[in-house]
Amino acid sequence: MDRRQFIKTSGYAAATTGSGLLLPASAFAADDIAVGSIHDLSGGLDIYGKPMLDALTLAIEEQNTAGGLLGKKVRLVSYDPQSNMQLYTQFAQQAALKDKVAVVMGGITSASREVIRPVLGRAKTLYFYNTQYEGGVCDRGIFCTGVTPAQTVGKLVPYAMKKWGKKIYVVAADYNYGQITSQWVKKFAQENGGSTVAIEFFPLDVTNFGPTISKIEAAKPDMLFSALVGGAHISFYRQWAAAGLNKKIPLASSTFGVGNEQIVLSAEEANGYLLSYNYFQSLATPGNTAFLQRFHKRFGADYPNVTELACGTYQGFKLWADGVKKAGSIDQMKVTAALESGISIDGPSGKVTIDPNTHHCVLNVSLAEVQDKKFKILQTFDQAPPSDTSAVCNLKKNPKDNQQYVIKV
């Protein structure tokens, strides 16, 4: 299955291009609760956005089947920013000011989050960012439910070094996530007696990695660490395998698989890659089994793979919904206060708890290996805290803080 075929089969088929709004607000009754979804359904990041929208769709449908929220139905209003930062800004304004959503679930890259966040902050609209990211956002108007480097890279790098060796070559996407995550890789390598041979960054539209692959081969690292992002960067893994280096230099990644790259690639190209996330479809727990049954009933038994980001979006909605129920209101500050009480859910990934000080999550983290287009769980760490962000952010002490800290590593 190539990337185009995968996208066609990866869930929500109703997405339009153009304005990106799936259904006009006028098509619904006024007496409901609107939830905004700003996820890439086309463009270079749609491999992430489509499964995220599918998961949000399921969560909202389940909520409505259970009676809605506060006696009202929940209405999904979805926009397709097409991996375009200007459209992210436009749709954040539309969601908050025109469509009057109670919350926005959206953003994939850090850049998209940082154009949404100030818009929603000014409009006093609650924002859930359900994507793994580099950490450091400290803002009472946002809840970041995805994993941060201390939770994943901090587990993955020592494990991989023990398995493969201490010299690491890093390739990463050229924006906040890749730049900052690569510094965490360097930090965890040094703390475990290793080093980074080199770190290289690539814009999201780069598809030719030949010169870099030659440099990596010449450097002879013990392992390669990838923080590459998006559909174009899948080319790296194909070129890596074509050069025969996937058989010579092992690879760990903090991003591989969240776009279902393991399905787009052949098993031969991706087998043996090491990963670390909060969620893998292969988690053998009763909660995940039940979730997957519901997911596949809704979207088809042949759905390729439920991703980390899809699960994060599902769990983000569930956290918000519990906050609304506890607050008895959709008012931004009342829901925020309710969430800051330390609300927990039992999600597909296990227990997920809001950390009041940072608006991030305490959650389980697993290490896994790619085997024949699936993920074999190797080890699970229970209830990992967002210790990187908590080192710089305390919203209880400083509730007016509103920035992203670049955490010194």
Burial grade of 30 (CB within 10 A; 0-12, 13-18, 19 or more): exposed
Q: Summarize the confidence of residues 83-100 as an average pLDDT.
A: 97
pLDDT at 305: 93
- Is residue 167 over pLDDT 90? yes
* Residues constituting the chain: 409
**161 pLDDT tier (thresholds 50, 70, 90):** very high
Q: Summarize the confidence of residues 23-30 as an average pLDDT.
A: 42
- Residue 371 CA to residue 403 CA, distance in Å, equals 40
Helix (H, G, I), strand (E, B) or coil at 264: helix
State the architecture of 153-253 in CATH terms: 3-Layer(aba) Sandwich (3.40)
pLDDT at 6: 38
- Residue 373 CA to residue 370 CA, distance in Å, equals 6
pLDDT one-digit tens code per residue, 365-401:
999 999 999 999 999 999 999 999 999 999 999 999 9
Q: What is the mean pLDDT of the chain?
A: 92
**Residues 63, 129 contacting (CB under 8 angstroms):** no
pLDDT at 5: 40
pLDDT at 217: 96
pLDDT at 21: 45
Phi and psi at 365, nearest 5°, equal -130, 135
**30 pLDDT tier (thresholds 50, 70, 90):** low
- Is residue 106 over pLDDT 80? yes
pLDDT one-digit tens code per residue, 208-222:
999 999 999 999 999
DSSP one-letter code for 257: T
189: its two tokens: 């390598």
Topology at the third CATH level for domain 3-147+282-364+384-401: Rossmann fold (3.40.50)
Q: Summarize the confidence of residues 72-98 as an average pLDDT.
A: 97
**Residues 190, 198 contacting (CB under 8 angstroms):** no
- Is residue 407 over pLDDT 80? no
Q: Summarize the confidence of residues 297-320 as an average pLDDT.
A: 96
Phi and psi at 253, nearest 5°, equal -150, 145
pLDDT at 2: 41
Q: Summarize the confidence of residues 79-95 as an average pLDDT.
A: 97
**231 pLDDT tier (thresholds 50, 70, 90):** confident
Burial grade of 159 (CB within 10 A; 0-12, 13-18, 19 or more): middle
332: its two tokens: 């931004």
pLDDT at 31: 87
Q: Summarize the confidence of residues 92-104 as an average pLDDT.
A: 98
Whether the full predicted model's pTM is greater than 0.95, yes or no, is no
Query: What CA–CA distances, in Å, run from 373 to 240, 324, 352, 365, 369?
Result: 17, 38, 27, 20, 10
Please give the full DSSP string across 320-380, using - where no structure is assigned: HHHHHHHHTS--HHHHHHHHTTT-EEEETTEEEEEETTTTEEEEEEEEEEEETTEEEEEEE
Matching CATH topology for 3-147+282-364+384-401 and 153-253?
yes
Say how many C-beta atoms besides its own lie within 10 A of residue 103's C-beta. Answer: 26
Q: Which of these, 288, 312, 303, lies nearest to 152 by C-alpha position?
A: 312
Strands 126-129 and 251-253: unpaired
Range in 40-49, 148-157, 333-342 with the lowest mean pLDDT: 40-49
**158 pLDDT tier (thresholds 50, 70, 90):** very high
The four Cα atoms 59, 306, 311, 34 give a dihedral, to 10 degrees, of: -30
Phi and psi at 351, nearest 5°, equal -70, 130
Q: Which of these, 171, 221, 166, 203, lies nearest to 188 by C-alpha position?
A: 166
Query: What CA–CA distances, in Å, run from 184 to 171, 180, 195, 225, 254?
Result: 13, 7, 12, 11, 11
Domain boundaries, the chain: 3-147+282-364+384-401, 153-253
pLDDT at 17: 34
- Is residue 350 over pLDDT 70? yes
